[in-house]
Amino acid sequence: MNDQEKDPEQAPLTFREMLQSVLAAALGVQSGKNRSRDFSRGKPGHFIMLGVLFTVLFVVILLATVKLILHLAVG
């Protein structure tokens, strides 16, 4: 058994944990406990990639919503 299997506190973050952290940070509700966990177990590149992906997705959804509202208001 390796060290990560013995101590789950040192295991790399799962995709779900990283996604929750990115969403919580985007909304400004990230807890100190999770932030500490992210800094100790997470890889910066993964968080940057998820953050950029979230931002792009958010902007696309926002633009689509505005276009839909403007289309319905004019038509």
State how far the Cα of 19 lies from the Cα of 59, in Å rounded to an integer: 18
Q: Work out how many domains the chain is built from and give that number.
A: 1
CB 42 within 8 A of CB 13: yes
Mean pLDDT, the chain, as a whole number?
Answer: 90
Q: How many degrees, rounded to 5, is the angle at CA 40 between CA 8 and CA 16?
A: 60
pLDDT at 8 over 80: no
First to last CA, the chain: 65
7 backbone dihedrals φ, ψ, rounded to 5°: -120, 100
pLDDT at 1 over 60: no
Task: Summarize the confidence of residues 30-44 as an average pLDDT.
Answer: 93
What range does the domain containing 24 cover? 3-74
If DSSP codes are grouped into helix, strand and coil, which group holds residue 38?
helix
**What is the pLDDT, as a whole number, of residue 10?**
82
State pLDDT tens for residues 40-56.
999 999 999 999 999 99
Q: In the block, which residue shows the tokens 């633009």? A: 63
